[in-house]
Amino acid sequence: MRLKQFIRGKVFRTYSQYFEKKRKDLFFKYMEPKPGNRVLDLGGNDGSRIAKLFSDGKNEYQIYVADISVTALETAQKKYGFNTVLLDENGKIPFPDDYFDITFCNSVIEHVTVN
């Protein structure tokens, strides 16, 4: 392995770990999730991002991952045991208003189109 690759890999991992912890700390500080809360990860792909946030006790929460990808949702359900919601092209979810205590949406806006 070349020194340049080693440094890039190590530096990237260090920053990634730092920002993952920072994201988690901020989420819990401002969202204040309580055990039993229903949490929606809107546009959550395979659930890996929300799984990192709740890695210390995801079973204490009812976590739902909503996405347009069937394959990603299958992973979210199989790998993490999350409830999954397949979004239609309009992005509508089959739940009443105020059903979720917390809605998390990360890196989704760049995929939204305006008709």
> Does the pLDDT of residue 6 top 70, yes or no?
no
Regarding whether 39 and 27 lie in a shared domain, the answer is no
> Does the pLDDT of residue 7 top 70, yes or no?
no
What local confidence, expressed as pLDDT, does residue 59 receive? 79
What local confidence, expressed as pLDDT, does residue 40 receive? 96
> Does the pLDDT of residue 56 top 90, yes or no?
no
Domain count, the chain: 2
CATH code at position 75: 3.40.50.150
Regarding whether 54 and 99 lie in a shared domain, the answer is yes
Regarding whether 74 and 37 lie in a shared domain, the answer is yes
pTM: 0.81
Regarding whether 65 and 103 lie in a shared domain, the answer is yes
List, as one string, the DSSP characters of the chain: --HHHHHHHHHHHHHHHHHHHHHHHHHHHHH---TT-EEEEET-TTSHHHHHHTTTTGGGSEEEEEES-HHHHHHHHHHH--EEEE--TT---SS-TT--SEEE--S-GGG----
> Does the pLDDT of residue 100 top 90, yes or no?
yes
Q: Which domain holds residue 47?
A: 33-115
Regarding whether 110 and 91 lie in a shared domain, the answer is yes
